[in-house]
Chain A
């Protein structure tokens, strides 16, 4: 099956810093999503991005499908950006998602 690898596993930054999170996947996919899980456990959809580039405020994402990776950029980090960022890709059927292990981001004030 498809393997999803995220890096780095942990990231600690000062407020205001920029960061780049990476997601590598082992096979072609027709669905790639980024999620943020806040410290209370709620998963929030960030981007549906099987290819191309999207931006939403301070966050942007780029997926290069031919090279099987996606990047999530966070600019001018705020403490509320803390949490775990997951990359998930579309599996074989039934809209299932295959999840990466996540990147834990801590933003210090």
Chain B
């Protein structure tokens, strides 16, 4: 149990395009989902927290217009990187926190984004 998927796992795009990343909880309902960004050889940096049906809460310094988060259902959250630029290249990881597994977040496999 407690499986979280992320799609796509890899994406390469040209500067100026928008990229959507999906995060799904496959076998539980995720009341809260988190989006993280991880730079090489660094720890995870929380970008935003999203609760189903409400607006995401962004961490200080994260541009909400650049990183659009939608948590439309209890099993799906999406992160859209709008007008991506090379500095947005990173490893993006989502996690889900559900009503069944109250003690911990479960993580997706991550999405590597490369903006050329």
Residues of A within 8 A of B (CB): 31, 33, 35, 40-45, 48, 86, 94-97, 99-102, 104
Contacts and interface: CB of A to CB of B under 8 A. Distances in A.
Those 3 A-B pairs whose CB atoms lie nearest each other, nearest first: A43-B107, A41-B110, A48-B103
Contact of B103 (A31, A41, A42, A44): A31
B79 to A, nearest CB: 16
Contacts of B38: 41
B109 A101 contact: no
Interface in B64-112: 91, 93, 95, 97, 103-107, 109-110, 112
A31 B46 CA distance: 17
B32 interface: yes
Given A94-B57, A95-B32, A99-B44, A40 B103 contact: no
28 contacts: A31-B103, A35-B107, A41-B38, A41-B91, A41-B93, A41-B109, A41-B110, A42-B109, A43-B93, A44-B107, A45-B104, A45-B106, A45-B107, A48-B103, A48-B104, A86-B43, A94-B32, A94-B49, A95-B97, A95-B105, A96-B46, A96-B49, A97-B46, A97-B105, A99-B43, A99-B44, A101-B42, A102-B43
Nearest to A94: B49
B50 to A, nearest CB: 10
Q: How large is the interface on B (under 10, 10 to 19, 20 to 34, 35 or more residues)?
A: 20 to 34
Given A41-B109, A94-B49, 7 more contacts: A31-B103, A43-B93, A44-B107, A48-B103, A95-B32, A95-B97, A96-B34
